[in-house]
Amino acid sequence: MTMALGPAQASDFSEPWKNTDRALVIDAYEYNSIDWAELATDKRIVGFINKASDGMPPPYFCFGAETETRLCKTLWKRHAVAQELFQTRKVVAKALGLKWGAYHLARPGNPVGQANNFINFAKPGPDDLLALDIEDDDPTKWMSLEDAEEFVRHVHRRIGRFPVLYTNGKTAKHIADNKYKYRLLSRLPLWYARYKPDIGVHFPMGNWQGYALWQFSAKANCGRFRCPYRVAGTPNDIDVNVAPMDAAALRAQWPFGGLIDVQPVYLASIPVPLSREAGLAGNAITYATVAAPPTFAEITAAFSARWTKFRSSFQLPFVKAAPRLPRGVAEYVAWTRKEKRSASASEAAPAASDPVSTASTEFDRGLR
């Protein structure tokens, strides 16, 4: 299951939210206040993505001292209230015609347990977007990228589709530079978090040629007096995202859920060197075509052939075993008699067995 997110236009990397044709998406967590009636007045808002689970769920049964028990019950109450608010917002957002989505805040440890917690919390429908939120590439504070690969794989096992990857510029670049190591993460649709007006020189090209969503406005760059974009009915710290497409196209691609196409990593051609004189004369540069990289089957066949040749170089040639010499006087006497009998039998053999004997030779011998 793949999806083609084509190369983004140059305008999609430089303040695309100023283009009124571009669709916008809000993402929020439980402490963001939302005035839904005001929010609905902004017709550019197509979707609403809400925080769902956070790491592992709190323990269902509380044990220990009084302080530990009270903390455990408080965490469980917070978890239950957040889940109730999540489902309420989901009903309201869909009633207003907004596309719905959920994200999981990834924490260190147990990626399979966190994936189960996410799905059980969000209870996603077939048209609900899912996202994995990796805040930074620090495995002591956030889920490691290796665990994130397993998280993504387990989500696909359970619901048959993949989440979107939310992360910042540094982590996205690390994944793009190591796409052969992170084969799933590097192919998830990218929800890119970077609060710059222009990201053309920063965007992590690789399998990603563009973003699915760009979080361009948040508490980091939106205040009372200045903000890239203000959404009616939301506080200044609300996160606002832009899509590289209009509302109709975003609704058609929502909720994503597929892997993006793998980008080729070889050059189609290389320039042929020119002499200094030819370059100064203004001669045009010509290009030589380069063959496509070998397929996996071709690499496997070549490796097998070379391994067979390498292994055979260590094999010793076949040598006929030398006869065992007799041991002791009795064996020596028996061996001597056997050799004498063999010699006598070969001398008594008829001349016809001699390969060089001829009829004329036999006739002459008979006369003598």
Residue closest to 192 by CA, chosen among 213, 206, 178 = 213
pLDDT of residue 303: 79
Whole-number average pLDDT of the chain: 86
Which residue from 11, 139, 121 is spatially nearest to 56, judged by alpha carbons? Answer: 121
Q: Which residues are CB-contacts of 72 (< 8 A; sequence separation ≥ 6)?
A: 58, 59, 62, 63, 64
Residue 2: enclosing H or E segment and its boundaries? strand 2-3
pLDDT in tens, 298-309: 777 877 888 887
Burial of 135 (0-12, 13-18, 19+ CB in 10 A): middle
Cis peptide before 255 (omega within 30 of 0): yes
| 3-state DSSP of 312-333 | HCCCCCCCCCCCCCCCHHHHHH
Buried b / exposed e over 149-180, threshold 16 CB at 10 Å, is bbbbebbbeebebbbbbbbbbebbbbbbeebe
Q: CB burial class (10 A; 0-12, 13-18, 19+) of residue 79? A: middle
Mean pLDDT of 329-352: 67
pLDDT at 281: 74
Average pLDDT over residues 17-44: 96
Q: How, if at all, do strands 239-242 and 259-260 pair?
A: unpaired
pLDDT tier at 285 (50, 70, 90 boundaries)? low
Report pLDDT digits (tens) over 215-262. 999 999 999 999 999 999 999 999 999 999 999 999 999 999 999 998
Half-sphere exposure of 319 (CA within 13 A, CB side): 6
- Contact partners, residue 184, CB within 8 Å, separation at least 6: 149, 152, 153, 162, 259
Residue 23 contacts residue 250 (beta carbons within 8 Å):
yes
